[in-house]
Amino acid sequence: MDARTDYFIQSALEVLGENLLGIVETDSYLRQPDYSSRCVRHFYVIVADNLVTDCITSLRYLQAEFFEFTLNYLTISELSYYPPHCMWQFAKNPWLLRSEKISDVVLPNIKGNLDIYRQAVFSVAHIARLYYLRNLTPKTHVWGVRQLGWAMRYAELGLYRQLESTELSCIHKDSAYVLKAPTKDLNWLITCNTSWQKFEEELLSNINVFRDAAARLSEIAEYYSTLLQHLYPETRTVPAHGKVDDLLSLQPLIDQVIILLRQFIGNRLLAFYLHGSAARGDMRSGSDIDSIVIVDKVDTVILEAIRSTQSRFKDLSISVYSESNVHQYPSFRAYALINGTKRVYGNLALEMKPSLKGDVYGIINNLFTIRQIARSYLISGTYGHRAYYMLGLMMKLTDHGCLRPLQILKGGFYPTKKTQVLEYYRDNEILTDIIKYTQNLKECENTLKQKLLIGSRAEIENLFYSLLDACEIVAERLNMVQIEKSIS
């Protein structure tokens, strides 16, 4: 252990005392941090349950001293019910400090949880394709490089390294099901990760190098998605013969998009869906029109066709999945596809059957994602250009990823309008304030930006703290629902 790391441990012990239960060097696998380079080391500090938010000031003190690290924290109870698909990091990565209480936490069976690999494929493919498809401004390019670096490390550690070990050893043995591994691309991935700073300079200096890297990473994700489908067949898409949804005001735009896609990729286009507010019918003026394209297989030809199509329509945002991506879609994410999409073209339907257990895990995943982001900003104490934007995203995730699915679990009713969510949670001011914030998102973000520019940080900090309070409220109510419905 180097002197700097040893000094960090001693400083943490001095600041947190007996409330410090463990320190693990890992990564932010739930969501890539928005304010730090991928080159920094990432640590989770495990604290006693009585320090749910009281440890933030102490950790901010440590963060200022160890500026080259990224710090976040979990309570010991939070560690015990961390999202199962990302729990592997606490078993695989090195602990710098580990008390007996940490040893009492039961880690889940990695081998039996395919969502570990499905989520890794989803996250890696999402980031790689998202930034490939954009016509990048310099600002977006910089953020894309940061997020691509995170996705590349996730691809190596969450897919390649795990799947070549004993958990799913059949994948790398001589088997009738095994596809030819993209050895050249995997070697490239490992080399780039090993010499990241040098490669990062190339990505930042040349947009074509960046886009080529995104395409190669997408190919790696596609390989593992197809491989999982061979080994663990799932059927989550079925032939659909019913009438597709007619979206009235959006129909002319949809028709133009479909015509272009069919010209570019022909019968490789299997289906086209609207997603999010466009599908729910509650789009606000200036909102992105989110959509999903499903194709036979995602390759560079497909990515170029989607990029060309997307660039011709203002506010159109396209995500692209292959059939195997949908078959191997993480089960805890099924809620979003069940309630947040409308098929407007094609004969391929998403067959995502509701699952109480899956919905619970989905809410838990979102709770921990919100905590991770809110705590990271509060610990860093810095609120730059993305801070108010990320706050808004976490507010929306609280609404759509926690409150609405919790309402379904509790009452069996999916609220399509914010007024229905407000009515349901009218007993709690913290939750209703968050919903109201999302109703005026652009105005609220602009107000926060102006305050930050004059040095006023109190409001944004209070809002991040309110997100943490909301997480505690949702976690408590979710636990009550689990007890009532006997969901384990």
Residue 381 has pLDDT above 80, yes or no: yes
d(CA 21, CA 42): 17
pLDDT exceeds 90 at position 11: yes
Q: What is the model's pLDDT at position 215?
A: 96
Answer yes or no: is pLDDT of 325 > 70.
yes
Percent of the chain with pLDDT over 90: 51
Cβ atoms < 10 Å from Cβ of 39: 11
pLDDT at 350 over 90: no
Question: Is residue 291 within 8 Å of residue 272, measured between CB atoms?
Answer: yes
Residue 243's pLDDT is 57
Could you tell me which residues come within 8 angstroms of residue 457 by beta carbon, excluding any fewer than 6 positions away?
383, 451
The DSSP call for residue 74 is E
Where do the DSSP E strands lie in 370-457?
A: none
User: What SS3 class is residue 344?
Assistant: strand
Which range among 18-22, 64-68, 140-144, 277-281 shows the weakest confidence by mean pLDDT? 277-281
Residue 33 has pLDDT above 70, yes or no: no
Confidence class for position 242, pLDDT limits 50, 70, 90: low
How would residue 433 be classed by pLDDT, with cut points 50, 70 and 90? Answer: very high
- Asked if the model's pLDDT at residue 336 lies above 90, the reply is no
Backbone angles phi and psi of 457, in degrees to 5: -110, -5
Q: For the chain, how big is the Rg over CA atoms in Å?
A: 22
Rounded to two decimals, what is the model's pTM?
Answer: 0.89
pLDDT bin (cut points 50, 70, 90) of residue 363 is very high
Q: Which residue has the higher pLDDT, 341 or 351?
A: 341
Residue 241 pLDDT greater than 70, yes or no: no
Q: How far is CA 287 from CA 276, 282, 284, 290, 410, in A?
A: 10, 10, 5, 9, 30
CA 58 to chain centre: 28
**Predicted pLDDT of residue 202:** 93
Tokens representing 23?
Answer: 């320190």
pLDDT confidence band for 417 (50 / 70 / 90): confident
Q: Is the pLDDT of residue 81 over 70?
A: yes
Residue pair 341/167 in contact (Cβ under 8 Å)? The answer is: no
Whole-number average pLDDT of the chain: 86
> How sure is the predictor about 35, in pLDDT bands with cuts at 50, 70 and 90?
low
Give counts: helices (H), strands (E), the chain: 23, 10
Q: Is the pLDDT higher at 279 or at 130?
A: 130
Report whether pLDDT(300) > 90: yes
- Who wins on pLDDT, 424 or 177? 424
Could you give the CA distance from residue 318 to residue 23 in angstroms, rounded to a whole number?
40
Angle at 70 between CA 210 and CA 21, to 5 degrees: 140
Question: Token digits for 37?
Answer: 């380079």
Q: CB neighbours (10 Å) of residue 466?
A: 20
106: buried, middle or exposed (CB in 10 Å: 19+, 13-18, 0-12)? exposed
- Which pair of tokens denotes residue 52? 């749910």
Residue 480 has pLDDT above 90, yes or no: no
Better-predicted residue by pLDDT, 172 or 19:
19
pLDDT, position 131: 92
Question: 158: which DSSP letter?
Answer: I
Where would I find the beta strands (DSSP E) of 136-250?
A: 237-239
In angstroms, rounded to a whole number, what is the distance separating the alpha carbons of residues 329 and 191?
A: 29
Q: Which residue has the higher pLDDT, 36 or 376?
A: 376
Give pLDDT, residue 412. 79
More confident of the two residues 286 and 202 = 202
Residue 448 to residue 443: CA distance in whole angstroms:
9
| Span of 70-79, 199-208, 231-240 with lowest mean pLDDT | 231-240
Looking at residue 318, what is its pLDDT? 94
Residue 314's pLDDT is 85
Q: Which of 41-45, 347-351, 418-422, 461-465 has the highest mean pLDDT?
A: 461-465
Percent of the chain with pLDDT over 70: 89
Q: Which of the listed ranges 157-171, 230-244, 462-476 does the model predict with the highest average pLDDT? A: 462-476
Q: What is the mean pLDDT of residues 393-417?
A: 88
* Position with higher pLDDT, 15 vs 84: 15
Give the Cα separation of 285 and 283 in Å (integer).
Answer: 7
Q: Cα separation of 161 and 2, whole Å?
A: 25
